[in-house]
Amino acid sequence: MASFSGKVALVTGGTQGMGLVSAVALAKAGATVVIAGRDVEKGKAAAAQASAEVGRPVHYLSVNTADPASVEQMIAQLLQNHGCLDLAFNNAGVTSPTAPMAEVSITDWQRVIDINVNGTFYSMKYEIAAMLKSGGGAIVNNSSVAGLVAVPNQASYVASKAAVIGLTRSAAIEYADSGDGSRPVIRVNAIAPGPILGGMNSPENLAKNPERTARKKAFAAMNRFGTPEEVAAAVVWLLSDASSYLTGTVIPIDGGALAGRRL
């Protein structure tokens, strides 16, 4: 089992869904964990719930990752509270309303790009600066299978999640090796989940559209949704030294969805 004793970890979008489950897993493996999100009441409640589950404090900081000043301020606060940053899971993200491209509103397009692309960039920019001061670190970005293959009527989401993979690869090669060992190494990888229970796949959302729910389930060769715990296990592994020779990779967690198609 991974041991993150003495490490400080940040999970953006850590106040619910797979972010919260991953935060709890990191804390159970010994990390001091900070979860961050916009909704302060939800964030405080999530931190209290996680603290009770772990048996020691899990911390909350407010952030809007689409606002660079907010991200800079949140990281500064984290450093003031905890002294360093070693690990980050950039999970904050939103889906787009379902519509063919010609009908996508400019407002919706910009909202998805602002949060999923710009938010991931702002987060990495300030996290990397902090990690360089702490002697290195590891980052996992949450993309999606929709960042690897297009799904219809989700252009902004598909484009945003492909961009997350581009950002991951760029940072990975920039911070893998300074050539002369003078700069700490930061490993940067992405996960590409398929349909995962919770969050955008909450029981209420799934019940609203049974046909779409059945299609999503059948998308995975395993013919089921994944669980947030199955995502968290990959996040813990990618942030741990057990994956020390991996950087710039994208790991689908998709029940075989991208492996092929049934005839």
Ligand X SMILES: NC(=O)c1ccc[n+]([C@@H]2O[C@H](COP(=O)([O-])OP(=O)(O)OC[C@H]3O[C@@H](n4cnc5c(N)ncnc54)[C@H](OP(=O)(O)O)[C@@H]3O)[C@@H](O)[C@H]2O)c1
Q: Which is nearer to ligand X, 176 or 222 (CB)?
A: 222
Minimum Å distance from CB 69 to ligand X? 13
Name the minimum Å distance from CB 27 to ligand X: 16
| Residue 54: Cβ within 10 Å count | 19
CB of 179 to ligand X, least distance (A): 33
Q: Token pair of 186, please?
A: 């930061």
Least distance between ligand X and beta carbon 165 (Å): 12
Distance CA 34, CA 27 (A): 9
Determine how β-strand 59-62 pairs with β-strand 32-37.
Answer: parallel
Our CB check for ligand X shows the closer of 28 and 161 to be 161
How many whole angstroms separate alpha carbon 95 and alpha carbon 141?
A: 16
Strand partners, 89: 11, 140
Nearer to ligand X, 183 or 212 (CB): 212
Residues that bind ligand X (CB under 6 A): 12-13, 15-19, 37-39, 42, 63-66, 91-94, 115, 119, 142, 144, 193, 195-196, 198-201
Q: Given the residues 122, 157, 175, 245, select the one marked as catalytic.
A: 157
In angstroms, give the least distance from the CB of 32 to ligand X.
19
Q: By the 8 A CB rule, do 167 and 120 touch?
A: yes
The residues with which 226 forms a beta bridge, in sequence order, are: 196
Instruction: Determine the Cα–Cα distance for residues 89 and 93; give it in Å rounded to an integer.
Output: 12
The residue length of the chain stands at 263
- CA-nearest of 235, 245, 255 to 33 is 235
157 classed as catalytic:
yes
Among residues 169 and 184, whose Cβ is nearest to ligand X? 169
Q: Report the candidate in 23, 24, 5, 30 with the shortest Cα–Cα distance to residue 88.
A: 23
Which of 116, 132 has the CB closer to ligand X? Answer: 116
Q: How far does CA 4 lie from the centroid of its chain? A: 18
User: In what side-by-side order are the strands of the sheet with 32-37?
Assistant: 59-62, 32-37, 8-12, 87-90, 137-142, 186-193, 250-253
Q: How far is the CB of 12 from ligand X (least distance, A)?
A: 6
Q: Which of 8/112 has CB closer to ligand X?
A: 112
28: which 2 tokens? 């159970």
Which residues does the annotation mark as catalytic? 157
